[in-house]
């Protein structure tokens, strides 16, 4: 039904993974003047895009397959980033501006010690646990109340939007203990490796690539399982699903929580590569942008949102440099055009074009059939 599942799909996936894995090699092995040399900037950009792609993949699971439109996934992304950021802040040690064991923002606020919720955050693996557990738990509790009350459609979307906005305001406060509007930045090292060293950056890049491909395979396995068909049943005819004996609450909660955790992992990979996390990541616009990546790439295709995240962010990088003031207008226009003319997004439209072309040339009748690959 989808080219992601065909032999050609596998080949494309393998080729993309190979090329992506080759970039750091070209970065490290070749001298700066070489025509095939990849700059640290370019590699960092691709690494960042892969984090966005992972977030888009997570969103596709709930929106594309289950029909739950979240306008608040930026929250889970940011929470994952903050959880990892806590470790990175602790790892600065006494190298901050004030030479204290406390992060600069705490010294500035005249705090004498860490608040209780910073306990153990000097341990890397404990923070990795937080990356998964905190957003997972918040998603689970929020989802449980929302789905149990049978809140659906646009109402659910608005509540997720409000949730991320409320958390943004909370994180903006200095008293919350997460650095207020400056957030976390000026990281020095991760697991004792200097964070800006080419080797460290390469390792982070490769970890991101591995997790993105792993998440893609996991999602593919899930959507092709019977559970995946139940999720699509939630999307298409929830009452029918209930009357044949499935509890939609349990299935929605499962996919919602899983999606939040994947998104949080994306955030956790994002923060050491970009070097900063602040509450603006929780702004409603960021979450909406994620939805645009999925829509443009093609929802309900898994590979589409990844393509969408790369395409939109690639365009954004160029656009914000060339016409900094016009980006939001361009994004809005792009979204409108895709909604009007490419309702299935890039990946949903490509096979249609491919089928139209030879048929039109031969003058034959165009038969739009589902590809049984």
Partner 1 sequence: MSLDMSVKPEGVDTRHGAILYLDDVTVSFDGFRALNKLTLDISVGELRCIIGPNGAGKTTMMDVITGKTRPTAGQAWFGQSHDLARMTEYEIAHAGIGRKFQRPTVFEQHTVFENLELAMKMDKRVLPTLFARLTSEQQDRIDAILRLIRLHGQEDRLAGLLSHGQKQWLEIGMLLMQEPQLILLDEPVAGMSDAETARTAELLNELRGKHSIMVVEHDMGFVAEIAQRGKVTVLHEGAVLAEGRMDEVQAHERVIEVYLGR
Candidate residues 15, 119, 210, 244; the one interacting with partner 1 per rule CB under 8 A: 244
Q: Are 63 and 97 in contact (CB under 8 A)?
A: no
The answer to the question of residue 298 lying near partner 1 (CB under 8 A) is: no
Piece of 107-115, 131-139, 177-185, 231-239 that binds partner 1 (CB under 8 A): 231-239
Nearest distance from C-beta of residue 64 to partner 1, angstroms:
12
If 0-12 CB within 10 Å is exposed, 13-18 middle and 19+ buried, where does residue 7 land? Answer: exposed
The answer to the question of residue 239 lying near partner 1 (CB under 8 A) is: yes
With a CB cutoff of 8 Å and minimum separation 6, the contacts of 172 are 180, 181, 279
Q: How far is CA 216 from CA 27, 63, 71, 241, 312, in A?
A: 26, 16, 21, 27, 19
Q: Give dist(CA 255, CA 58) in Å, integer.
A: 9
Binding mask 172-211 for partner 1 (x = CB under 8 A): ----------------------------------------
Nearest distance from C-beta of residue 240 to partner 1, angstroms:
4
The answer to the question of residue 226 lying near partner 1 (CB under 8 A) is: yes
Q: Are 260 and 76 in contact (CB under 8 A)?
A: yes
Nearest distance from C-beta of residue 221 to partner 1, angstroms:
9
Beta bridge partners of 346: none
Q: Are 161 and 71 in contact (CB under 8 A)?
A: yes
The answer to the question of residue 242 lying near partner 1 (CB under 8 A) is: yes
Binding mask 332-371 for partner 1 (x = CB under 8 A): --------------------------------------x-
Query: Which residues bind to partner 1, rule: CB under 8 A?
Result: 222, 225-227, 229-230, 232-233, 235-237, 239-248, 250-251, 254, 370, 372
């Amino acid at each position: 039904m989808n080219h992601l599942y065909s032999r050609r799909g596998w080949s494309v996936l393998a080729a993309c993974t190979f090329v992506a894995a080759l970039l750091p090699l070209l970065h490290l092995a070749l001298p700066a003047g070489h025509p095939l040399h990849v700059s640290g900037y370019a590699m960092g950009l691709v690494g960042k895009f892969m984090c966005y792609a992972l977030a888009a993949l997570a969103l596709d699971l709930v929106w594309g397959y289950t029909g739950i439109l979240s306008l608040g996934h930026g929250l889970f992304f940011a929470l994952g980033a903050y959880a990892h950021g806590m470790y990175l802040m602790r790892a600065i040690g006494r190298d901050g501006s004030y030479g204290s064991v406390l992060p600069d923002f705490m010294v500035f606020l005249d705090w004498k010690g860490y608040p209780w919720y910073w306990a153990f955050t000097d341990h890397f693996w404990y923070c990795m646990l937080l990356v998964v557990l905190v957003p997972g738990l918040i998603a689970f509790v929020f989802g449980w109340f929302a789905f149990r009350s049978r809140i659906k459609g646009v109402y659910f979307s608005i509540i997720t939007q409000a949730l991320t906005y409320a958390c943004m305001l909370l994180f903006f406060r200095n008293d919350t203990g997460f650095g207020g509007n400056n957030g976390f930045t000026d990281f020095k090292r991760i697991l004792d490796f200097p964070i800006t060293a080419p080797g460290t950056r390469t390792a982070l890049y490769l970890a991101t690539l591995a997790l993105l491909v792993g998440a893609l395979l996991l999602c593919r396995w899930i959507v092709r399982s019977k559970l995946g068909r139940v999720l699509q049943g939630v999307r298409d005819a929830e009452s029918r699903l209930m009357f044949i004996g499935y509890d939609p609450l349990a299935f929605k909660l499962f996919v919602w929580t899983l999606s939040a955790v994947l998104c949080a992992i994306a955030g956790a990979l994002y923060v050491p590569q970009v070097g900063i996390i602040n509450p603006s990541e929780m702004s409603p616009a960021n979450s909406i942008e994620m939805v645009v990546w999925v829509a443009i790439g093609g929802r309900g295709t898994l590979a589409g949102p990844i393509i969408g995240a790369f395409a939109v962010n690639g365009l954004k990088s160029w656009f914000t440099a060339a016409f900094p003031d016009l980006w939001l207008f361009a994004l809005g226009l792009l979204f409108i055009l895709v909604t009007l003319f490419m309702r299935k997004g890039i990946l949903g439209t490509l096979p249609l074009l491919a089928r139209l072309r030879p048929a039109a040339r031969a003058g034959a009748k165009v038969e739009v059939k589902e590809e049984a690959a």
